[in-house]
Amino acid sequence: MKKVPVADAVGHVLCHDITKIIPGEFKGAAFKKGHIIRTEDIPELLKLGKEHLYVWEAGPGQLHENEAAVRMARAAAGSNIQLSEPSEGKVNLLAGRDGLLKVDTTALLRMNSIEEIMMATLHNNRVVSDKCLVAGTRIIPLVVDEEKIVRVEAICREAGGIISIRPFKSMAVGVVVSGSEVYKGRIQDAFGPVVRRKVEAFGCRVVHQVVVPDDQSCITAAVNEVIHQGAEMVLITGGMSVDPDDLTPAAVKSLGASIVTYGAPVLPGAMFLLAYLGEIPVMGLPGCVMYAKTTVFDLVLPRVLTGEKLTREDIVALGHGGLCLGCPECRFPHCPLGKGA
């Protein structure tokens, strides 16, 4: 800290808040600790009775909070991330497009384990829209040893960036609606429209939909048919639980698909199935996906649409945070569902 005449303070960092009081009108900080003094501030400072100021002398190897935050944010930003200007020592990271937020939680933990460093983010694998605030970073004191920022930069470099937004692929979707009650016209299909609405919300289109009875060979034929019609992803509705007429999992197996999982630690959605026929993701959707507002499908679909090839480990990790509270008014994704993985 050193004392300088106001006129010589331009470019220096203020050590403490400077309070302004106008009787009956205003009392507050006219200039905040950490502010970098500009030429245009001088008349105002003189009016506040400040002819001298205490300013920081950045020692060798030390960084001011703004510069430190900018360097950390730049290092952490992966693809499709925009940075705000530093303000009061903090830099915000914003989504540069619609997509899926990816946070390298291991690297984030390493970074936050360095004392005097912080970065806060939204949860990994969350759907975000363009310009959405996804993270913020700053140092805790006003100045920091540059060596700490260099360590942060090394962690981020190793991780290839900590935060990024992955775009969704606009996939052609095939839908196979299973259920003899629907096929025979006893009830009207209510599942196809739900699935269509959900995929269209991500810019996908349903290229073909087939309704089939509860018959294994009809289900397999229908899957082949929708793929023949150009489906890059296949969604089969119904027939997922334990009744003798629930044949969807057996049908998918008989197609020779590699089954990632039949069953998921998510409620609603325990009877979910994910498989791949070559590169084509095939999902078996239990009845709850039609009935409940938010289910396992809403956790898995966005990830599949980024081109991520999910493993059984990815699915089993959904258990922590996989319980939907079933609120009367659904606020997903502003809730705990899917946030533990």
By CB under 6 A, name the binding residues for ligand LQZAQKY5.
177, 179, 181-182, 187, 189-191, 237-243, 246, 270-271, 286-288, 290
Residue 272 and residue 248 in contact, taking contact as beta carbons nearer than 8 Å: no
Q: Tell me how far, at minimum, the Cβ of 270 lies from ligand MOO, in Å.
A: 3
Q: Which long-range contacts (CB under 8 A, 24 or more apart) does 121-124 make?
A: 121/93, 121/163, 123/338, 123/339, 124/341
Site stretch for ligand MOO (CB under 6 A), options 86-94, 124-132, 267-275, 304-312:
267-275
Q: Is 315 in the site for ligand MOO (CB under 6 A)?
A: no
Strands of the 2-5 sheet, one edge to the other:
2-5, 52-56, 13-14
Tokens found for residue 112: 């936050």
299 contacts 249 by C-beta, under 8 angstroms: no
Torsion of CA 286, 292, 293, 299, to 10 degrees: -40
239 is an interface residue for ligand MOO by CB under 6 A:
no
Give Cβ neighbours of residue 96 (< 8 Å, ≥ 6 apart).
80, 81, 82, 130, 165
Q: Which is nearer to ligand LQZAQKY5, 67 or 214 (CB)?
A: 214
Question: Which span (47-55, 127-135, 196-204, 266-274) binds ligand MOO, by CB under 6 A?
Answer: 266-274
Convert 62-71 to b/e letters by CB count within 10 Å (16 or more is b): bbbbbbbbbb
Q: Under the criterion CB under 6 A, does residue 236 sit at the interface with ligand MOO?
A: no
* Contact (CB, 8 A) for 73 and 34: no
Which option in ligand MOO, ligand LQZAQKY5, none does residue 220 bind, with CB closer than 5 to 8 A by kind?
A: none
Footprint (CB under 6 A) of ligand MOO, residues 285-314: 286, 288
**Among 268, 322, 333, 338, contact with ligand MOO (rule: CB under 6 A):** 268
273 is an interface residue for ligand MOO by CB under 6 A: no
CB of 198 to ligand LQZAQKY5, least distance (A): 14
Using rule CB under 6 A, residue 91 touches ligand MOO: no
The residues of the shown chain that bind ligand MOO, judged by CB under 6 A, are 267-271, 286, 288
